[in-house]
A = this chain, B = another copy of it.
Amino acid sequence: MELWFTEKQTEHFGITARIIRTLHTEQTPFQKLDMVETAEFGNMLILDGMVMTTQKDEFVYHEMVAHVPLFTHPHPENVLVVGGGDGGVIREVLKHPSVKKATLVEIDGKVIECSKKYLPEIAGQLDDPRVEVKVDDGFMHIAKSENEYDVIMVDSTEPVGPAVNLFTKGFYAGIAKALKEDGIFVAQTDNPWFKADLIRTVYRDVKEIFPVTRLYTANIPTYPSGLWTFTLGSKKYDPLAVSDDRFHDIETNYYTKELHKACFVLPKFVADLTK
C-alpha cells in the first residue's frame, strides 16, 4: 500500500507527496500538527493540513526571511522572530555575528517540541545561549514591546487559525512601535497566483506605516505556486541601497549578495500588486 499526503493549496489544485511513515500526529490547543517522513522531501511539518517546512527545501524560506533584513540593517543586535517554532529562521539569524540576542515567540509549544525531535538540523540552534524561547502569543508580545528590536521577522502560518491577527494593520502598527527608530521587519505574505488580494492589502497597509516598503520573492517548491512573497517594512534603511561592503561571508544554499537585490525585481503581474 502506498500512502500519499495531498494538500489542497486551493479548492481546485494541490500537491501530493508519498509518505513513508507518520512520525507524529496530534491536535494541539491551536492546530492540527502532523510530522511525516516523505520520500521526496524528507521529514515534513504540516499544520492544519498545510506544509510548513521540509528537510529538503527549508533552506530557501529560512535564509530569505533572515538574511535580507539582517544584511540591510547595518548592525542588528536584538532580533525577534514571531512564530517560526521550527527554529529555522533562528538558525539563520545566529549566522550574523552582530546579533547578541534572538527571541522566538511561538504560540504553540508543541511545534517547538516536535521540531526539536524530528527536524534537528532546523531546530538545533534553539538551545543556543543567545536565544530566548517564549511560548506566547506573538500579537500580545508585540503589543507589549516598545523601541526594543532592530529586526523583527514574522514567520507565521497562513492567515487562518492562530495567525489571523498577524495579517492586520494593527499588528503592523504594533511592530513599528516594537522596533527601534531604525528598525526593519519582514513578514511572509503568501503567493501571488492564488493570494493576490492578500499581498495587495498587506503591502498597502505596511506602506502606510513604514517609509520604506518592499516586496521580494523566493522559490519554494512545497509552497503553493512555488513562488513565495515577503513584505519588508523599514523605518530607515533600504534593502536596495545596501553597499557591497556590508555583506560578509555566511554559509547559504539559496541567498547570495547578488540575489539580495535581484529578489526585489518582480515579474510584472507581481509588481502590479504594489501599485
Which residues of A come within 8 Å of B, CB atoms? 6, 10-18, 38-41, 57, 60, 193, 217-221, 224-227, 252-256, 258-259, 261-262, 265-269, 271
Total copies of this chain within the assembly: 2
State the CA gap A232–B10 with chains docked (Å): 34
Which of A41, A253, A262 has most B Cβ within 10 Å?
A262
Contacts of A226 in B (CB 8 A): 219-221, 225-227
- The secondary-structure label for the interface of chain A is mixed
- Closest residue on chain B to residue A217 by CB atoms: B219
State the CA gap A15–B225 with chains docked (Å): 10
State the CA gap A194–B224 with chains docked (Å): 17
Contacts of A217 in B (CB 8 A): 219
B262 touches A265 (CB 8 A): yes
Contacts of A14 in B (CB 8 A): 15-17
State the CA gap A17–B93 with chains docked (Å): 38
Contacts of A255 in B (CB 8 A): 267-268
A40 touches B269 (CB 8 A): no
Which of A18, A60, A271 has most B Cβ within 10 Å?
A18
- Closest residue on chain B to residue A258 by CB atoms: B265
